[in-house]
Structure 1
């Protein structure tokens, strides 16, 4: 039966195009996630259907014949046209959602989940911004904000995502240098690295039974990622935000010397403007984040 009256062997043509582009059956097989034998067999069958040799097989290489070069030019243009058309279609149907998050939530919670989001919603482009604290809808520059607070925003849609708990964290390096932490007051032998003010430290020490603890040395760092990096380097002690540091403690990167957790009166909240979830893509991102957060409870 003539080739013109049969269905085109599209799989074999795709295989040939990859092999011709790479001039390698092995590299074509890796690109297509098949074996080199499969590539060789498909091209051999294509040569039989075409009625001519498409490759010269050499000991360690393959070279296109004149017929192979001609077919490769046609297929290369055809696949380029198909890719271009597909990209235009996907671009027209893609949606963009912007979200602002703080350093620790972004790096320790959202960042590790971005690939999962991409697989779950390949049609949505999620653009992540560094966020600062907001008090009203007028300060929102993105579709969604994840913020830390008491949940008392009045002109926004607010969903509580997750609570956090505070407990001191230190590095194994610091313990090796100065010895173990036996009682909470041992923390005061080192530099306190914290954000904003001492209030959470004071609350934690009060919970631990040291309501009038004196701070001898401290460094204030606004960026929580810098705080964590400094602690890991053994430069001092800090209040860890759990569950974000659970894996650090589990793998020994950090040490939680005391099983005393401070539960603050604030939590992480998902914020959107009123009726913003009317956009399907914004609602999809919000629903996904809420489901991921609920899975941790």
Structure 2
């Protein structure tokens, strides 16, 4: 099929496929069911194939209809994204997905500064451990823990983080050497890349079997350490506020080897960087982190800045 795209027919097809009936599609489009049926018959004639199996009670897309639906929804999503990028109506928006502990411990406490600099930007922040698959209409940007799994996106490392033992000052009074860790509870963050045995190995020490509570989120493990539950092996970036306030200290600083790695990455799909709100947020974020500025013109899907 060549020539002009039959947008009216495609819209009727997409609505009928998504809603599961011609009547529901007609109601959404504010037309009659017969108009929807006629539009889809016309589309089938143009394509030379049947798109729906019809019965008195329901419609089911044929294999050809399912294939077309996948492409049509993707195309409509891209059209919607393009309209959002160029429109000047309404507030500028940025929708950010973030790893939960980075959102709670580092990002959220700083958002007041971002909104103070860019009061016209409407920010939506969602936190979950899941990795969103781009392109998606839910988010413009994702900050993830660990190297991104998706390859057809722009992926920027957010700098190295230092991981070391941290605890409340009262707990630290009992720790003068590495061996003293054997007599205190060792708090564990289940999803962290670095574990207590790895830290002991890096310090050429006999690894203790960690005896202490386990948490599946770093922010909970940090909170436990603040409240004197034990010593946590955590990122000083995530615990920055607690370290600055004196709620946590590094009891073995200068007497042990810390671990370093790139823990968090920023990921976005092609085209997201064209939005003004997106550039404002990303530029602010890298400045706050103290990592290199991003050349948006060189950032393309598949681009993956090497960790520094």
Please confirm whether the aligned pair reaches a TM-score higher than 0.5, indicating the same fold. Answer: yes
**Deviation digits for residues 49-78 of structure 1, max 9, x if unmatched?**
xxxxxxxxxxxxxxxxxxxxxxxxxxxxxx
1:253 aligns with 247
1:196 aligns with 2:190: yes
The answer to whether the 8 A contact 2:156-2:267 is kept is yes
1:287 aligns with 283
Q: Summarize the Cα distance change of 1:101–1:139 in structure 2 as closer, same or farther, 3 Å threshold.
A: same
1:162 aligns with 2:163: no
Deviation at 1:133, TM superposition (A): 4.2
Q: Summarize the Cα distance change of 1:164–1:261 in structure 2 as closer, same or farther, 3 Å threshold.
A: farther
Task: Indicate which of 231, 237, 249 corresponds to 2:231.
Answer: 237
1:262 aligns with 2:258: yes
Q: Summarize the Cα distance change of 1:249–1:157 in structure 2 as closer, same or farther, 3 Å threshold.
A: same
2:9 aligns with none
The answer to whether the 8 A contact 2:96-2:140 is kept is yes
Distance 2:245 2:257 in 1: 20
Q: Summarize the Cα distance change of 1:156–1:173 in structure 2 as closer, same or farther, 3 Å threshold.
A: same
The alignment partner of 1:132 has SS state of: coil
**Deviation digits for residues 189-234 of structure 1, max 9, x if unmatched?**
1222112268522221112221x41215132211222111111111
When you count helix as a share of all residues, which structure comes out higher?
Answer: 1
Aligned-residue RMSD, C-alpha: 2.8
Task: Indicate which of 203, 222, 227 corresponds to 1:228.
Answer: 222
The alignment partner of 1:243 has SS state of: coil
Of the structure 1 ranges 278-287 and 231-240, higher mean CA displacement relative to structure 2 is found in: 278-287
5+ residue gaps, structure 1 = 1-90
5+ residue gaps, structure 2 = 1-87, 293-307
The answer to whether the 8 A contact 1:93-1:123 is kept is no
